[in-house]
Amino acid sequence: MDEIKWGIIGCGDVTEWKSGPAFNKVAHSSIVAVMRRDAKKAQDYALRHAVSKWYSDANQLINDPEVNAIYVATPPDSHAEFAIKAMMAGKPVYVEKPMAVRYTDCIRMNKVSADTQMPLFVAYYRRSLPYFNKVKELIESKTIGIPLMIDLKLFSPPRQDDLKLETHIWRVKPEIAGGGYFYDMACHTLDILDYIFGPISEVSGVFANRAGLYAAEDVVTASFRFKNGPVGCGSWCFVSHEKAKSDVIEILGTKGRISFSTFEFSPIILETNEGKQEFMPANPPHIQQYMIENIVQDLRGEGKSPSNGISGARTNKVMDFILNKVTLSQEIFFHD
């Protein structure tokens, strides 16, 4: 492909700043059409972002001959449907995270990608950010020796929308999101650990709904082992007290320790016998820009995206195991 002409399915909040404007800032990339079920909102987005065409029907956008790549930015319950339709129409797909509401949907998506030879990418954009690549560099250069274990915590208080049934957003509705905030947020942490250390080969979890604000799980703990050796544990709570807020990942090694965060982008701290160092690589103004650039380069044959359907499916698989959504008959896929 020479020029990547994107069509966006689901031009909601995430596309306003995190991703949408970046498609037009990357060389050889532009948005030519957008879609939203609400026609007025689709038209409004198109006018505000100087996009020439808008639709209220996803099929019309997918079949638009000017569109040669699709970005699916709808809630997760429709990711598989739209991604598969787009690939069947001969168009590469960039799909928001999590890749789907369940691991079995990810398997279907990857099968269609293989059968059609259409590339499939997932919006785990942290893989392209200098911040996380600095952590990866510190690990690979053995600044802390052999990585032994990982300890991570993400605690946050409930949001205003969580307090009343009538204001619940789709992120706490398992039938739409796959789970609660765990599915929406923990996927970023689990994916970046997969990027740094490789696939998780063993995992188990315990989860509960303690505050009773919505149907989904609001506290989760997990233990895991990476295929190449390190072990880890994680704790997530989305109904904590304000004073208990935490966003930290600690990696312990034979020669030191690294600590960093998933969402806060607090300074990366390296502690060894040589002392303490801090690193703070800058993010792009549009957080997905470097990932979109990687994908465009991949589609043009000039590079390789660090996130794709195979790596994205692994993260869904781990979350499904933690929430006990994978049956024994599916465990064979855990070691693929």
Reported as a single tens digit per residue, the pLDDT across 46-58 is: 999 999 999 999 9
**pLDDT above 90 for 291:** yes
**Confidence (pLDDT) at 146:** 98
- Whether 155 and 230 share a structural domain: yes
**pLDDT above 50 for 328:** no
Helix 130-140 and helix 187-197, axial crossing angle in degrees, nearest 10: 40
Evaluate if pTM is beyond 0.85. yes
- Of 331, 318, 315, 308, the C-alpha closest to 128 is 308
The beta strands (E) that lie in 81-208 are given as 93-95, 120-122, 147-155, 200-208
| Buried/exposed 172-205: b ≥16 CB within 10 Å, e otherwise | bbbeebbbbbbbbbbbbbbbbbbbbbebbeebeb
- Of the chain, the percentage scoring pLDDT greater than 90 comes to 96
CATH of residue 44: 3.40.50.720
Residue 238 lies in a domain: yes
Q: In the predicted model, what is the mean pLDDT of residues 248-275?
A: 98
Strands 219-226 and 200-208 come out as antiparallel
Structural domain tally of the chain?
A: 2
- Whether 136 and 261 share a structural domain: yes
Q: pLDDT tens for residues 128-160? A: 999 999 999 999 999 999 999 999 999 999 999
The region, left, alpha or beta by phi > 0 then psi within -120 to 50, assigned to residue 95 is beta
CATH of residue 158: 3.30.360.10
Q: pLDDT tens for residues 168-210? A: 999 999 999 999 999 999 999 999 999 999 999 999 999 999 9
Domain boundaries, position 199: 130-282
- Whether 248 and 177 share a structural domain: yes
- Whether 57 and 112 share a structural domain: yes
- Whether 161 and 276 share a structural domain: yes
